[in-house]
C-alpha cells in the first residue's frame, strides 16, 4: 500500500475536505479496514490489471452513457465508498422523510394548496415554477403515489456532516450503474468482500416492480407494467433497457402506445394489449403532445387524460418537477415540519434565494465565492462555480441573474468529501457525492442500501456529472452485524432426505438381465 498511497495525505490535506477512507494522520477509518487490507496486498500492476479488466467488462456489457452521440463506458473506480451502518441509518431515515414530505407537498399543490394558504411557501413561487403543470391539477393519480422513484443527492461537507444538495423526483437516473458496479466489484476486488457483510443491492428491480404493480389502477388484478423510453439516443438508454430486462417487462417507445377511451394500449403481435402502469423515463414536456409540446414525437397523445381518468398509472407522476425546483428545495425543511411535524434529519445546504433583495445584493457582491445554479437544471447544466469562473463568465452570469432572479439560486462552495481514486500510477483524493435511491409503494418508502457515488476524476474538481468527466464508485453499506445477513436459512445437508419416493420403482428387466449375464 505504501507506494500506491504515497503523497496521499499531503494531497488530502491540500484539499481541506473530509476524507472518507482516512482519518487525519493517514489512519484508515474502521469501516475501511477490510478494503485497506485488501489494497495493501496488491501491487500497482495488480490494481491496474483489475481496473482494466473492470473497464473492459463494462464495455463488453454495454454499460455506457451517451455523450454527444457517442457511447462511452462509465468509468468505475476500484476503491469503493464505504458507509458504516450507523451513518447509513441516519441517511436512510433522512431520505425517506424527505420523500414523504415531497409526496405530501405534491399532493397538496395539485389539490387544495393548503401549504400556500397557511403561508409556508409563497403562491407565486409554486405557480412560476417551470415544472408546475396545470394540466394535472385537481386529481389524485391512481394508486395514490406521485414519487415512486426518487434520487436525493447528498454530500458531506468539510466537517463530515451529510447535507442534501438537491432532490430528483422527476426521472432520477443512475440506478443501473449501482447494480452494474456491484457486479463488477464482486469480481474486481473479491478480497474485500469476505469477512464483512455488505448489504446487497440486487433486489432493487424487484422492489421497483412490486411498487409499480401495487400502484396500478384499481380493479386490475394482474397489471401490465411497461418502461417508457425516449429511444436509443437517450443518454440513459442503457439504464432503461437494464431495468426493463431485470423487471421482465416491455420497454416501449411512444409510438408503441395508443390511447383510446382513456385507456392505454401497446401494439403487440397478438393485437393491442392494455397497459396499466407506465414507468416514465421521458421528460414531462415530451410526454403528451395534446397537453405539452405539440411537436413531440416521443410521447403518446392522450396519456395525461388517461391518467386523469384513472385508466393508467404514470410513474413518476406528471408535474413532479415543481418539487425538485431548486427554489422549492430551499423550503423543504419547512415542508418537513409542516407536513410531518418532524425536524429534518438531514440538513440542506445553505441557500440564497435571489428573489429576496438583500440576499441578491449580497450574492452579486460575492459571485466569485459562490456556486450559482439555475433552479430547473439537472446534470450540472448551467451551473457556475465562482472561484473557477473567468471574469467574462461572471459578468454574463450577473446579467442573467438580474434579468431573472426567480431562475437562480446561490450556495457557498462546498468542499465535498474525498475518497482515494486511482489516477495514473497512484491513488489520489477525489471529490464524491452520493445519490441514494428511494422507492415508494404508497405504504412505505424503501431506500436502496447505498446508492450511486459519483466521483470527479480531475484533481480538485467539484463537478461529478458523468457528462463532465465524472466517474463512479461502488457504494457499500455495511450491515449492522458484521457476520451474516438477517435471514440465515438453516443449512441442509445434501444427502438428508425423509421424502417418500415419487419416481416409479426402478424395475427394468433389460438392465437386470444384462447384470445377470455379466
Partner 1 sequence: MLSRIAESLFWIGRYVERADGTARILDVHLERLNHLPLEEQRSVARELLAVMGAKPQSEDFGLPELLHALAYDKQSASSIAGSLGAARENARRARETVSQSLWESLNTTYYGLNQHRKDVVGTYRFCNWVLERTAMVRGLADTTVSHDESWLFMVLGRSLERADMTARMLSTRDVQSAGMSWVNMLRCAGAYESFIRTRRAAFGDQHAAEFLLLDRLFPRSIVYALRDADECLAKLDPSAQRVGFINDARRIVGQARTFLEFHRTDDLMSELPEHMERVQKAVTQASDAISRKYFNQADEHAWVGEVS
Q: Which residues bind partner 1 (CB under 8 A)?
A: 50, 53, 186-188, 190-191, 193-195, 197-198, 200, 202, 206, 209-210, 213, 222, 245-249, 483-485, 487-489, 491-494, 497, 499, 501-504, 508, 510-511, 514, 517
Question: Are 164 and 354 a contacting pair, CB within 8 Å?
Answer: no
42 versus 120: smaller Cβ distance to partner 1: 42
199 versus 473: smaller Cβ distance to partner 1: 199
295 versus 515: smaller Cβ distance to partner 1: 515
- Among 173, 341, 304, residue whose Cα is nearest residue 243: 173
Torsion angles phi and psi, residue 219, rounded to 5: 85, 5
Question: Are 205 and 149 a contacting pair, CB within 8 Å?
Answer: no
Question: Are 129 and 406 a contacting pair, CB within 8 Å?
Answer: no
222 versus 392: smaller Cβ distance to partner 1: 222
Give the nearest distance from C-beta 394 to partner 1 in angstroms.
49
Name the helix (H) or strand (E) containing 149. strand 149-156
Give the nearest distance from C-beta 497 to partner 1 in angstroms.
6
Give the nearest distance from C-beta 248 to partner 1 in angstroms.
3
Residue 69, SS3 per DSSP? coil
159 versus 502: smaller Cβ distance to partner 1: 502
233 versus 503: smaller Cβ distance to partner 1: 503
Name the helix (H) or strand (E) containing 40. helix 33-40
Could you write out the DSSP letters of every residue in 336-369?
HHHHH-S--SSEEPP-EETTSHHHHHHHHHTGGG
- Among 101, 107, 77, 87, residue whose Cα is nearest residue 31: 87
Q: What is the 3-state secondary structure (H, E, C) of 457-481?
A: CCCCCCCCCHHHCEEEEEEEEECCC
| 140: alpha, beta or left? (left if phi > 0; alpha if psi -120 to 50) | beta
Task: Please name the residues in contact with 110: beta carbons below 8 A apart, sequence gap of 6 or more.
Answer: 136, 137, 138, 139, 319
124 versus 195: smaller Cβ distance to partner 1: 195
390 versus 508: smaller Cβ distance to partner 1: 508
51 versus 130: smaller Cβ distance to partner 1: 51
Give the nearest distance from C-beta 35 to partner 1 in angstroms.
14
What is the distance between the alpha carbons of residues 6 and 55, in angstroms, rounded to a whole number?
A: 24
191 versus 285: smaller Cβ distance to partner 1: 191
Give the nearest distance from C-beta 405 to partner 1 in angstroms.
49
Angle of helix 175-188 relative to helix 44-61, nearest 10 degrees? 140
Give the nearest distance from C-beta 185 to partner 1 in angstroms.
11
Give the nearest distance from C-beta 186 to partner 1 in angstroms.
5
Q: Classify residue 489 as exposed, middle or buried by CB count within 10 Å of its CB (0-12, 13-18, 19+).
A: exposed
Amino acid at each position: 500500500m505504501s507506494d500506491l498511497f504515497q503523497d496521499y495525505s499531503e494531497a488530502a490535506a491540500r484539499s481541506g475536505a473530509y476524507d472518507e477512507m482516512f482519518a487525519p494522520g493517514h489512519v484508515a477509518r474502521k469501516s475501511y479496514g477490510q478494503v485497506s487490507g485488501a489494497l495493501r496486498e496488491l501491487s500497482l500492476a495488480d490494481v491496474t490489471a483489475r481496473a482494466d479488466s473492470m473497464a473492459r467488462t463494462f464495455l463488453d456489457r454495454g454499460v455506457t452513457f451517451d455523450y454527444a452521440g457517442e457511447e462511452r463506458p462509465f468509468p468505475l473506480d476500484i476503491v469503493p465508498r464505504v458507509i458504516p451502518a450507523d451513518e447509513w441509518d441516519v441517511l436512510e431515515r433522512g431520505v425517506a422523510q424527505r420523500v414523504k414530505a415531497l409526496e405530501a407537498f405534491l399532493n397538496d399543490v395539485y389539490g387544495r394548496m393548503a401549504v400556500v394558504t397557511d403561508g409556508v411557501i409563497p403562491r407565486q413561487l409554486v405557480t412560476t415554477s417551470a415544472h408546475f403543470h396545470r394540466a394535472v391539477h385537481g386529481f389524485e393519480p391512481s394508486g395514490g403515489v406521485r414519487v415512486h422513484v426518487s434520487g436525493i443527492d447528498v454530500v458531506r461537507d468539510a466537517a463530515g456532516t451529510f447535507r442534501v444538495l438537491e432532490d430528483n423526483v422527476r426521472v432520477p437516473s443512475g440506478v443501473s450503474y449501482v447494480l452494474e458496479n456491484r457486479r463488477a466489484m464482486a469480481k474486481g476486488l473479491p478480497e474485500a468482500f469476505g469477512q464483512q457483510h455488505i448489504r446487497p443491492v440486487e433486489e432493487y428491480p424487484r422492489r421497483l416492480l412490486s411498487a409499480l404493480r401495487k400502484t396500478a389502477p384499481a380493479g386490475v388484478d394482474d397489471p401490465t407494467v411497461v418502461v417508457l423510453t425516449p429511444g436509443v439516443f437517450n443518454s440513459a438508454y442503457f439504464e432503461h433497457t437494464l431495468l426493463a430486462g431485470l423487471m421482465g417487462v416491455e420497454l416501449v417507445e411512444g409510438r408503441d402506445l395508443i390511447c383510446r377511451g382513456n385507456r392505454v394500449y401497446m401494439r403487440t403481435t397478438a393485437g393491442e394489449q392494455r397497459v396499466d402502469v407506465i414507468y416514465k423515463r421521458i421528460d414531462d414536456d415530451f410526454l403528451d403532445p395534446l397537453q405539452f409540446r405539440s411537436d413531440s414525437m416521443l410521447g403518446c397523445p392522450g396519456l395525461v387524460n388517461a391518467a386523469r381518468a384513472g385508466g393508467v398509472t404514470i410513474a413518476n407522476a406528471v408535474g413532479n418537477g415543481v418539487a425538485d425546483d431548486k427554489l422549492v428545495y430551499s423550503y423543504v425543511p419547512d415542508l418537513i415540519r409542516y407536513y410531518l411535524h418532524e425536524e429534518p434529519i438531514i440538513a440542506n445546504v445553505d441557500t440564497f434565494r435571489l428573489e429576496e433583495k438583500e440576499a441578491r445584493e449580497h450574492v452579486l457582491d460575492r459571485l466569485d465565492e459562490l456556486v450559482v445554479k439555475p433552479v430547473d437544471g439537472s446534470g450540472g447544466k448551467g451551473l457556475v462555480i465562482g472561484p473557477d469562473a473567468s471574469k467574462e463568465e461572471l459578468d454574463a452570469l450577473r446579467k442573467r441573474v438580474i434579468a431573472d432572479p426567480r431562475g437562480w439560486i446561490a450556495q457557498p462552495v462546498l468542499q465535498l468529501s474525498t475518497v482515494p481514486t486511482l489516477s495514473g500510477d497512484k491513488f489520489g483524493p477525489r471529490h464524491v457525492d452520493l445519490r441514494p435511491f428511494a422507492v415508494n409503494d404508497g405504504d412505505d418508502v424503501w431506500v436502496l442500501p447505498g446508492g450511486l457515488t459519483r466521483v470527479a476524476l480531475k484533481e480538485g474538481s467539484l463537478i461529478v456529472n458523468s457528462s463532465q468527466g465524472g466517474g463512479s464508485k461502488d457504494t457499500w453499506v455495511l450491515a449492522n452485524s458484521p457476520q451474516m445477513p438477517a435471514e440465515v436459512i438453516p443449512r441442509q445437508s445434501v444427502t438428508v432426505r425423509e421424502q417418500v419416493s415419487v419416481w416409479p420403482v426402478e424395475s427394468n428387466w433389460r438392465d437386470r438381465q444384462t447384470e445377470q449375464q455379466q
